[in-house]
Amino acid sequence: MTVTDTDPAIARDSVASALEQDRVESHLNPPPSYDLADHPLPTGREEVWRFTPLKRLRGILDGEASATKLRREVSLPEGVTLTEITAEQARELGELAPNDRPSALAVANAGGAVLLDVPADLELETTDPVVVTLTGENADDLVWGHVVVRLGRHSKATIVLRHTGSARYAATTTVVVGDGAELNMVSLQDWDDDAVHLGRDAIRVGRDASVKHTSVSFGGDVVRMHANVEYDGPGGHAELLGLYFADAGQHLEHRLFADHNQPRTKSNVAYKGALQGKGARTVWIGNVLIRKVAEGIETYEENRNLVLTDGCQADSVPNLEIETGEIEGAGHASATARFDDEQLFYLRSRGVSDAEARRLVLHGFFNDLIRKVGIPSLEEQLTATVEAELAKNVLDGLPPVGSS
């Protein structure tokens, strides 16, 4: 018998061996470990926690046990399965180990994992996505989530993970994408105003595989999402998109880490956010690590923020850590600004009202990213949600930033 395909376990061992020979730890991405002792309770002085309002997490990092689960509604196309597995089985499937305290607590306290499995060679249409809706019943409930998504070789799928209702929720999700597979995944945080959500989506991209991951955050009191990407072989491509809209008092934080641990891989990061109302706060931390073995890679990350009213704060920190000069290209960009006076003047000079002019500018700001989501029904919903967010402040007479 002739073996033509590399066993995934052998490929992972090869990656691990190469990394051990050239171990580089990112200062913004702590080493992965299942041991809670390796993820001590933060004080707020740590680089990876200094932006997060720890007092507003309401004890979620203390790790108390809870039997509560989020209510789950699932829409599964034919051929896709959803089963419960043990934490040990999740490790055997090649999940990425936790790299922060919330994800380590989730593995320790969830009582097992949920496996969403798309078999090899199954190609699902964009119009027939996998939709998993998780709903919390009470803002005081402390809930742990442990999810593994597996795409077999040369499969194709669209997956939507939607969070609604109220809870204190900490979860880790690992996405294992087989060689040549293609995944479009959306994580939607549409919580009630009193929810707390600490989530990590860790993605392993197979050889010549393609992943588009979109994180959308509108609801919740404090939401802190962490997306990680690493590669199982050359030729993998990851596109990380994000959209967020913070209202008065909300804290929405998104952290990205692309670990180029294989040659000839690609990553592209594009996040956009808007803020309105007193105390609205957003944080975006992007980090790309290019290891010595990752020759011929391409990467770019950007973050754009639009401040709509006074009293908001947007933090944006892009980072590149480069260990080899043999790359095709690497760059980053970050900008935070208020409404463009020239754009508003142009529209008003043509008879457009002030509120309508601001609405049009904001839709233009978000529209190109919404179109990249690739799920028509969800794109329509996101456009409607942006409109609803605008109606809360910008369109109801609240003065824009800088006005008297």
What is d(CA 260, CA 332) in angstroms, rounded to the nearest whole number?
15
Q: Is 362 exposed, middle or buried (0-12, 13-18, 19+ CB in 10 A)?
A: buried
Domain span at residue 178 reads 27-339
Whether 186 maps to a domain, the answer reads yes
What is d(CA 192, CA 136) in angstroms, rounded to the nearest whole number?
9
Whether 2 maps to a domain, the answer reads no
**pLDDT exceeds cutoff 80 at 122:** yes
Taking all residues of the chain, what is their mean pLDDT, rounded to a whole number?
89
Whether 8 maps to a domain, the answer reads no
Whether 51 maps to a domain, the answer reads yes
Residue with tokens 């002019």: 357
Residue 210, beta-bridge partner list: 182, 237
Query: What's the confidence (pLDDT) of residue 19?
Result: 45
What is the average pLDDT across 386-402?
63
Model pTM score: 0.89
How many CB atoms are located within 10 Å of the residue 64 CB? 10
What is the average pLDDT across 126-131?
92
Q: How confident is the model at residue 13 (pLDDT cuts 50, 70, 90)?
A: low
What is the average pLDDT across 103-119?
96
Whether 352 maps to a domain, the answer reads no
Q: How confident is the model at residue 24 (pLDDT cuts 50, 70, 90)?
A: low
Q: Which positions ≥6 away from 37 have C-beta within 8 Å?
A: none
Query: What's the confidence (pLDDT) of residue 361?
Result: 79
Per the structure, how many domains does the chain have?
1
How many CB atoms are located within 10 Å of the residue 81 CB? 11
Whether 271 maps to a domain, the answer reads yes
Cα distances from 175 to residues 131, 150, 207, 340, in angstroms, run: 15, 6, 14, 39
Query: What's the confidence (pLDDT) of residue 12?
Result: 53
Whether 263 maps to a domain, the answer reads yes
Nearest to 273 by CA among 307, 253, 244, 302: 244
Query: What's the confidence (pLDDT) of residue 404?
Result: 38
What is the average pLDDT across 233-244?
97
Q: How confident is the model at residue 10 (pLDDT cuts 50, 70, 90)?
A: low
Query: What's the confidence (pLDDT) of residue 390?
Result: 78
Whether 6 maps to a domain, the answer reads no
Q: How confident is the model at residue 5 (pLDDT cuts 50, 70, 90)?
A: very low
What is the average pLDDT across 104-120?
96
Query: What's the confidence (pLDDT) of residue 25?
Result: 65
Residue 318, beta-bridge partner list: 286
Is the separation of the CB atoms in 307 and 279 below 8 Å?
no
Nearest to 224 by CA among 259, 241, 245, 200: 200
pLDDT digits (tens, 9 = 90+) for 309-326: 899 999 999 999 999 889
